[in-house]
Structure 1
Amino acid sequence: MATQSNTRSQFPRHRKPSRRQWEGLVYVLPALVLVVVFFLIPLGMAAWMSLHKWPLIGNPRWIGLGNYMRVLGDASFWSALWFTVQYTIAATVGLMSVAFALALMVQGQGRSTTFYRTAYFLPVVTGFASASLLWAWLSNVDSGLFSPLAQSLGLTEGRVNILASFSPAFWSVTIMVIWKMAGFYMVILMSGLQSIPADYQEAARIDGASWLQRLRWITLPLVRKPFALALILCVAGSMLAFDQFYIILNGGPQNQTVTAVYRIFNESFVSFRLGYGAALSMVLLTILLVLSVIQLRLLRDRGES
Structure 2
Amino acid sequence: MIATRKGSVGLLYMAPALLFVLVFVVVPFVQLVQTSFTDASLLGGGGFVGLENFSKAFADPTFRRALWFTARYTIIITPILMGLGFALALLTAPNRPLEQLTRGIVFLPVVIGLGSSSLLWFWLFDQQVGLINRFLVDIHLLAQPMVWFTKADLVMWAVIISVTWKVVGFGMILFVAAIQSINTEITEAAMIDGAGPWQRVWSILLPLTRRTILLATLISAIGSMLAFDQFYIMSGGGPRGQTFTAVYWIYQQSFISFKLGYGAALSLILTAIILFFSAIQVFLSNRSPGND
Distance in structure 2 (CA, Å) of the matches to 1:17 and 1:80: 52
The answer for the alignment partner of 1:4 in structure 2 is none
The answer for the alignment partner of 1:241 in structure 2 is 227
Distance in structure 2 (CA, Å) of the matches to 1:37 and 1:279: 21
The answer for the alignment partner of 2:28 in structure 1 is 42
Q: For residues 240-298 of structure 1, what are the alpha-carbon distances to aligned partners after superposition, in whole Å with 9 as ceiling and x for unaligned?
A: 00000000000112221110000000000000000000000000000000011112223
Is 2:12 aligned against 1:17?
Answer: no
Cα offset, 1:301, TM superposition: 4.2
Give runs of aligned pairs for residues 87-126 of structure 1, distance below 5 A: 87-126=73-112
Letter paired with 1:206: I
Letter paired with 2:209: V
Which ranges in structure 2 are unaligned for 5 or more consecutive residues? none
Q: For residues 46-80 of structure 1, what are the alpha-carbon distances to aligned partners after superposition, in whole Å with 9 as ceiling and x for unaligned?
A: 11100111021223101121111111211110110
Report which of the two structures shows the higher radius of gyration computed on alpha carbons: 1
Distance in structure 2 (CA, Å) of the matches to 1:26 and 1:182: 39
Distance 1:289 1:58, change over 3 A: same
Letter paired with 1:170: M
Cα offset, 1:82, TM superposition: 0.3
Letter paired with 1:294: I
Distance in structure 2 (CA, Å) of the matches to 1:180 and 1:189: 16
Distance in structure 2 (CA, Å) of the matches to 1:245 and 1:302: 35
The answer for the alignment partner of 1:262 in structure 2 is 248
Letter paired with 1:105: L
Cα offset, 1:303, TM superposition: 4.4
Distance 1:119 1:27, change over 3 A: farther
Letter paired with 1:224: R
The answer for the alignment partner of 2:150 in structure 1 is 164
The answer for the alignment partner of 1:180 in structure 2 is 166
1:131 paired residue among 117, 135, 144:
117
Distance in structure 1 (CA, Å) of the matches to 2:11 and 2:105: 39
4+ long deviations beyond 6 Å: none
Distance in structure 2 (CA, Å) of the matches to 1:39 and 1:213: 46
Cα offset, 1:183, TM superposition: 0.6
The answer for the alignment partner of 2:271 in structure 1 is 285
The answer for the alignment partner of 2:186 in structure 1 is 200
Give runs of aligned pairs for residues 198-237 of structure 1, distance below 5 A: 198-237=184-223
8 Å CA contact 1:103–1:187 kept in 2: the answer is yes
Letter paired with 2:91: M
8 Å CA contact 1:147–1:162 kept in 2: the answer is no
Distance 1:105 1:264, change over 3 A: same
Letter paired with 1:186: M
Report the TM-score, using the length of structure 1 for normalisation: 0.90
Distance in structure 2 (CA, Å) of the matches to 1:89 and 1:262: 18
Number of positions where the alignment pairs a residue of Structure 1 with one of Structure 2: 290
Letter paired with 1:222: L
Distance in structure 1 (CA, Å) of the matches to 2:167 and 2:222: 13
Distance in structure 2 (CA, Å) of the matches to 1:189 and 1:24: 34
Letter paired with 1:220: L
The answer for the alignment partner of 1:276 in structure 2 is 262
Letter paired with 1:270: I
Is 2:128 aligned against 1:145?
Answer: no
Distance 1:23 1:104, change over 3 A: farther
Letter paired with 1:219: L
Percent identity reads 41
Report the TM-score, using the length of structure 2 for normalisation: 0.94
8 Å CA contact 2:36–2:265 kept in 1: the answer is yes
Distance in structure 1 (CA, Å) of the matches to 2:219 and 2:29: 19
Distance in structure 1 (CA, Å) of the matches to 2:202 and 2:158: 32
Which ranges in structure 1 are unaligned for 5 or more consecutive residues? 1-13
